[in-house]
């Protein structure tokens, strides 16, 4: 999809605040700093629309981006903040659990992992959780420009093996710097949002 028009429509904590158009939603999850804002900006052809690196301890909300008046990207706050309190973490957990398990318009989740390393314990928990609820998931390995092309396959295999990615889910390499993987990620999104 060639994106011209994006609008941040909603920062929601409560389900009552979610959009009501009934259009499909694709959620993006990942540890802070994994490259979620960068990926979002590449997908929507912006340099700095989605905020880069949200701050630990800030109010955590789901941000709904309305794309071409056709679908929503839902930015789920980054997990893995070491410093947030347990209460904060539980609040965060409840909010995303409610959203991811009960949202009828959710068509799929893009789960980002840093392509340079093996997925962390947090990444594994997130993927296991998404699998448990049978939510269609695309795992995106980010920052692949930092890895020599000859090592991509080995690194992708490591991600696949560590997360134990299900046959029905997908794994794609991505770089916000070179935009490698942009078309493939969009293809997955369109297939799941409208297919």
- What ranges in 44-151 are assigned the alpha helix state H? 86-102, 121-132
Which residues contribute to the site for ligand GDP (CB under 6 A)?
A: 30, 32-38, 52-53, 78, 142-143, 145-146, 175-177
**Minimum distance from residue 80 beta carbon to ligand GDP (Å):** 10
182-194 and 36-43 are packed helices; what angle lies between their axes, rounded to 10 degrees?
80
Which residue lies nearer to ligand GDP by CB, 21 or 33?
Answer: 33
**Minimum distance from residue 167 beta carbon to ligand GDP (Å):** 27
Which residue lies nearer to ligand GDP by CB, 89 or 146?
Answer: 146
**Minimum distance from residue 30 beta carbon to ligand GDP (Å):** 6
Which residue lies nearer to ligand GDP by CB, 76 or 189?
Answer: 76
**Minimum distance from residue 104 beta carbon to ligand GDP (Å):** 27
Q: What is the spatial distance between Cα 147 and Cα 163, in angstroms, rounded to a whole number?
A: 20
Give the gyration radius of the chain's Cα atoms.
16
Residue 176 near residue 39 (C-beta atoms within 8 A): yes
Which residue lies nearer to ligand GDP by CB, 45 or 164?
Answer: 45
* Nearest CA-CA partner of 24 in 102, 107, 100: 107
């Amino acid at each position: 999809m060639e994106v011209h028009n994006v609008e941040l429509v909603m920062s929601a904590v409560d389900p009552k605040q979610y959009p009501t158009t009934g259009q499909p939603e694709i959620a993006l999850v990942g540890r802070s700093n994994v490259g979620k804002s960068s990926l979002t900006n590449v997908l929507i052809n912006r340099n700095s629309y989605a905020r880069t690196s949200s701050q630990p301890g800030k109010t955590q909300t789901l941000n709904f981006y309305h794309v071409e008046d056709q679908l929503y990207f839902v930015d789920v706050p980054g997990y893995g903040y070491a410093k947030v309190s347990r209460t904060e973490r539980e609040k965060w957990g409840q909010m995303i659990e409610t959203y991811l398990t009960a949202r009828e318009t959710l068509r799929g989740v893009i789960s980002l992992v840093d392509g340079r390393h093996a997925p962390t314990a947090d990444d594994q928990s997130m993927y296991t959780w998404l699998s448990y609820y049978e939510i269609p998931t695309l795992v995106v390995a980010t920052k692949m420009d930092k890895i020599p092309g000859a090592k991509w396959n080995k690194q992708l295999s490591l991600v696949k093996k560590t997360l134990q990615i299900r046959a029905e889910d997908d794994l794609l390499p991505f770089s916000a710097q070179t935009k490698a993987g942009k078309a493939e990620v969009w293809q997955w999104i369109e297939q799941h949002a409208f297919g």
